[in-house]
Every structure is written in structure tokens, then in C-alpha cells.
Structure 1
Amino acid sequence: MPRPVFFQERCKGCELCTVACPKKIVVMSSQFNNKGYNFSTCIDDGKCIGCALCAKTCPDTVIEIYK
């Protein structure tokens, strides 16, 4: 089963990954990272289909998909 991993400290909150996710399970956290940005996270790893569109869209290599 695919599993997305988010490196939250790298995230700058651009939200491109949230738009790219076809399952709409990538969202912005209400918390902040050490840089002061809301970071992206997955709300339901079990629904991830492993398409990696979120990771491909991310300009800061915040997301990796493990299959």
C-alpha cells in the first residue's frame, strides 16, 4: 500500500500539492513549521493511490511516496 511521507520543515505552504491530489487527502495543517509556514500533510494515508502527483508538483521536494 502506498504511503506519503511529508518533510514538514521543508514546506513553504505553496499548496500546490493540495490541488494536485486527485483524492483530496493532502491538506494544509493548521500548525506551523519552524520557518513559520503552514505545512502540507495527508489526512488519510489509506486512501493514497500512490500516483505521486503531489510529490511531482512540489517545488521543494517535501513529499516522497513509498510503495
Structure 2
Amino acid sequence: MKNGNRLIKIGAIGGVITALCCFTPVLVWLFALFGISALVGYLDYVLFPMLAMFLVFLVIGFVQRRRAK
């Protein structure tokens, strides 16, 4: 049960942070601040797979927790 709860926390926190970076210009502002705004075009190639990965962690955590009960 401990592992399922941990995966749920990782999936939820990572998913929220990644979703904020995907759907708001948070990373665009940070990249512009640091002078690396040329990399903004590549963010979609990294952020969408990360979001999917965190959502998979969340689902796996729920499944593990349900099986433990």
C-alpha cells in the first residue's frame, strides 16, 4: 500500500506541475529570463510525454492501492 500511495503523490504533483508548464507560459518566461528562448519550440516534445508519464504513474498508483485493499 505504501508504494501505491507514493505513486499517486508523484503522479499528482508531477502532473500538476507539468500541466502548468504545458498550458501556461511559465517555462516561456523562464527561458526568456535566462536567454534560452530559442529552445521554446522544443518544449512540446518534452512536456507532453512527461505529462503522459505522470498520469500513467497516477493510474498505476490507484490500481495498486485498490488491489492492496
State the TM-score, normalizing by the size of structure 2: 0.26
Q: Quick check: which one's helix share is greater?
A: 2
Q: Quick check: which one's strand share is greater?
A: 1
Rg larger for: 2
State the TM-score, normalizing by the size of structure 1: 0.26
